[in-house]
Structure 1
């Protein structure tokens, strides 16, 4: 009887845990789920522009990342939307923010480039070669993992 009781209670706990995890995962499946929630971002940033052009209704802006994360921790806002590597770095460096989590949602992915004069073929080739050397080195994987990134 005792073994049966342990089995049933373990099974019940497993099912309840699974349902809770699925509910939390489904709660934030898409960035549009946050359109009606209180969200924050850095004032005059690309994220601020993105939120406004995509009709987010309740956007609180901050002068920097840390004040926004502090308000998130205090539950004054429900989410802080900004560049993931910067947010991860700030959470990692500030022990008072360790309870915060960066969700694996991606939106408005941006790619950066170097602009060079069309006549600067040697410079373009030198930059391209150096970039290839960097991304093929073992240190590149260390940098990516340090900021929780992976190659596209």
Structure 2
């Protein structure tokens, strides 16, 4: 067994990660967040396939799988991006409008409320006020998004 296979979780992990770092550096120079999301999603798929090929659980803990800025769910990501762009108090009606404005269809006000609660559960947002007057703000600490 070579030294690289002893520290790799699956064969070829280190070359894959080195390639990913090169691509991320290139993307960082141009500031294209959509491309970064696409590349990270592709890496996640490739990594899951590598784990599956070894017969192991295909997922790794979210905190180690991707940086906290990456949110796989398109609706949740759209809401987080909107909240990041326009800081302040967010209610379910604001969340509904932001997600719909991003081009996502089929979202109700109740679902928008669930998205806000999901951001809270991931540590990306904070809930404030009583149940009948609740609003949300982005957390100042990083969370664990996937």
Q: TM-score range by the shorter chain?
A: under 0.3
Higher-Rg structure is: 1
TM-score (norm 2): 0.25
